[in-house]
Structure 1
């Protein structure tokens, strides 16, 4: 059977509109209450900015054979055991017949502080995956096939995220691929290497400008980190696990 990608492009555009719309609404609400956070934080405290992408993942899972799986989105049900730490919270977990089918992280970054936030996001993504796979190796999830582990990153498409960045490394040279690379290009390299090193099944990068609140426009930097690659990989994994676990 062909995979069902659930008209993902249209739903992704709607998810982008939801992202920017929730940010604007949260910021306006805090301004009206007189308790606005400093800088861009006012737009993220509502905690629902990536809900449209969560909905897309749910549609993919249900359409490809695991409609009866336990799909967890509530914070109390999103913890997995780790190896270097007791637990880690994910954004979406899929459990079926007592097996971990998928774990997904959805992240975003909006300017102007791309520099420090990029490093934090990279360290978090690498550490999270290394912790999970070490726990998996040590039997934390029982005897089961490798789960799908996905990382999706939405970054504001802006001059500051597309401009060349200079680095200072006084003792040893910066890797050639990073020299002069913009923050979007660095995220692209991060996504590629997370997959190449088998830390994530797939990692996607979406670039979207603030004006996309009206249009849902977004751009992708390569086929390897495209949303289509992400949803296709997820759909294929779900279909395979459904076939394996269905009598």
Structure 2
């Protein structure tokens, strides 16, 4: 059966436009409420910034054989048991016939604090995956095949995120590929290694500037971490699970 990639490029552009549009709408709302001093936090706390990408993921799932699957988006239904902690809240869960088919995390980062946020996102991504796979090993989800676990990151394309970054490591040298690498490059390396180490089935990085609110333009850093890899791998996994669970 041919995979249906659901015209993902056009839908991704719409998701990018919605991302920037929602952030701006939240900022304006804060100003009108007399809370203009909150700056970038206004856009972060809006809570709907990545909804366009969630809709894209749902379209892929529905189009590739799991139209009847339980696709959870409401907060009360998004927790999975952990191993090092009781539960973990995900952004999207797919359950079919009592089995966990997919778990997806969608994150974003907009300047100016790229440094601290990069480290926090890195630690969070690694810890989340390690916790899930250890819980899976201990049969927290029952006896079932490995689910599809994905991490998608949208980073603002800006001078600060593309500028070379210096690191201080007085005792031992950092790996060569990190030396002078921008935060966008570091996110790409992170995504590649999350997949190489089998922490995630797919890890995706897309970048976009604020002017994309009108065009939806976005960029990718590598084929391994690009959106097509994520969409096609998700579609393949869903199609395989649909055939298995008939």
Would you call these one fold, judging by a TM-score over 0.5? yes
Which residue of 2 is the match for residue 152 of structure 1?
Answer: 152
Return the offset for 1:35.
2.3
What residue ranges of structure 2 are gaps of 5+ in the alignment?
Answer: none
Say how many residue pairs are matched: 246
Runs of 4+ in 1 over 3 A off after TM superposition: none
* 1:193-246: CA deviation from partner (whole Å, max 9, x where unpaired): 000000000000000000000000000000000000000000000000000001
Do the aligned partners of 2:5 and 2:232 also contact (CA within 8 Å) in 1? yes
Which residue of 2 is the match for residue 47 of structure 1?
Answer: 47
Q: Which secondary structure does the structure 2 equivalent of 1:93 belong to?
A: strand
**Counterparts in 2 of 1:83-162, with a 5 A limit?**
83-162=83-162
Inter-partner Cα distance in structure 2 for 1:126 and 1:229: 20
Stretch moving more, 212-221 or 170-179? 170-179
Stretch moving more, 168-177 or 153-162? 168-177
Inter-partner Cα distance in structure 2 for 1:62 and 1:241: 12
Which residue of 2 is the match for residue 77 of structure 1?
Answer: 77
Inter-partner Cα distance in structure 1 for 2:208 and 2:159: 12
With structure 2 as the length reference, what TM-score do the two structures score? Answer: 0.99
What residue ranges of structure 1 are gaps of 5+ in the alignment?
Answer: none
Stretch moving more, 224-233 or 170-179? 170-179
Do the aligned partners of 2:27 and 2:39 also contact (CA within 8 Å) in 1? no
Which residue of 1 is the match for residue 221 of structure 2?
Answer: 221
Q: Which secondary structure does the structure 2 equivalent of 1:241 belong to?
A: helix
**Counterparts in 2 of 1:167-186, with a 5 A limit?**
167-186=167-186
Which residue of 1 is the match for residue 206 of structure 2?
Answer: 206
What CA RMSD, in Å, does the superposition of the two structures yield over aligned residues?
A: 0.6
Matched, 1:67 2:45: no
